[in-house]
Each structure stands twice: as C-alpha cells, then as structure tokens.
Amino acid sequence: MRKLVAPLLCGCLLGVAAPAPADEPPGPPDAVERYWGERRAVGVVQRRRVEKQGGVEAAVFTGWIPNDAFTTYVPVGLRVTYFLRETLGIEAGFEYDLHIDTRLKELLHEEDAALRAQIRDRQQLRLAVDAVWIPLYGKFAIHNRKIGHFEGYVLGGAGTVRTGASEIGLKDSFRPELNVGLGLRCYLGRRTSLRLEGRDHVYLAQENPDGEGGGWTQAWELGVAFAVLFGGGSG
C-alpha cells in the first residue's frame, strides 16, 4: 500500500508546483502569434496609398469669389502640379472668371437716381505659379468598413490677373498678383481625388478714368477640384 501512495503524493506535489502557462492559449504556432499580435499591436500611419513623387496631377476646378459687392465671380479652370517630393510640388494654374452682376447697382439707383454707382474693374482671367507644401497626411474609417485617405496642404505664389471694364472706358490690362491658400485633398481612388481649397488673391488694380480706384485689391476664392494623378508610384 505504501508503494502505491508514495508515487501518487509525488505526482500531486509536482502538479501543484508546476507553473501554468501565462495567458497563452493552446494551439498551433500561427494562432499563438495572432493572439499576441492583437495584444501588442501599435497604431501607426503606414505607407501612403499613392506615392506622388515624380508624378503629375491634373485638376479641373470651379469656385466662387464672393467679396465684390457689384459682381459675383465663378472661376473655372485647370491646374497642373508636378511633385518634386511626396510633400512638395510646383503648380501652374489657369482660370477664366465668369461674372454675374448683382442687383446692388440697380438698388442704389432706385434709392437715389443721381447716384453714380459703377463697377470699377472686372476680373477676367488668371495665370499663376505656386509652390505646394503637404505637411499633413492621414486616414479615417467610414463605418469601420472602409479606410479614407486625405492630405492637408498650403500653397503660395505669384502670377497675373487681367482686368478691365469697357462700360467705364477701362481697357483690359494684365496686373501683377500674389496668392496664398489652404487645401484638403480627399482620395476617391488610387489616382483620383477631390480637392477643397480657399485662396486669397491680392493684385494691383488699375486706376479708373475718373482718377479713383487703384491700389492693392483682394479677391477671396473658394473652390472645388477633381484631380487625376499620372505617374508616381502606388502604395
């Protein structure tokens, strides 16, 4: 009897003393690796969906210039950007400004028939070259089912704007202009994106035939563009 009891006691003691695996589930090696991978995962922004360096982006856009009391402008045009690096590009742009006169002039004449309310100059078209810097890149989840990619950028440069107003004898003239802006690029696909922008144009206006006007004038522009990237690489 003693010969049977001694081995049983030793087995019980060894069972109590043996350390149990710490939170490690039994299973094949890949299951264990996946188990610990989920607990040790570190959130990071990984490779970009699209690598833009060396690529060219073409964008068609339209917008709104709201800060002229007598005329509302609707710019339409094309912008082409060459990316020197992932975060730096050079952009050339052209826009034609459609104009819609507001009723302010008519309202002023209705109030005072002797009042001479005149449009001073009309913005007609713009040409500009800008440097584009992209310091912000990120991702967001849509209902935890789809990942969206976006970039934030700033830009600035110089160009020219053609203005004129034939109704007051002001001839067409190209005027020097500076501009700065902020933008957000939201990727729709690997090569397509939607760009939302705000720009501030500052140009040297003409002096009118009556001697008034002239000096530096601002034009604020809100715009939306559809862009396609050619070249570069895919992430």
Q: Flag whether 111 is in a domain.
A: yes
Of residues 127, 129, 134, 144, the one with CA closest to residue 193 = 134
Among 48-57, 113-122, 196-205, name the one with the lowest average pLDDT: 113-122
- Tell me the residue range of the domain where 119 lies: 50-234
Do residues 90 and 82 make contact, with C-beta atoms less than 8 angstroms apart? Answer: yes
Specify the number of domains making up the chain. Answer: 1
Confidence at 29, pLDDT banded by 50, 70, 90: low
Q: Flag whether 79 is in a domain.
A: yes
Q: Flag whether 38 is in a domain.
A: no
Q: What is the Cα–Cα distance from 114 to 108, expressed in whole angstroms?
A: 10
pLDDT at 170: 76
Tell me the CATH number at 146. 2.40.160.20
Q: Flag whether 22 is in a domain.
A: no
Token pair belonging to 211: 């001697």
Instruction: Please check the confidence at residue 144 and state whether its pLDDT lies above 90.
Output: no
Indicate whether this model's pTM tops 0.85. no
Q: Flag whether 184 is in a domain.
A: yes
Q: Flag whether 35 is in a domain.
A: no
Q: Flag whether 165 is in a domain.
A: yes
Q: What is the Cα–Cα distance from 78 to 205, expressed in whole angstroms?
A: 24
Cβ-based neighbours of 192, under 8 Å, separated by 6 or more? 226, 227, 228, 229
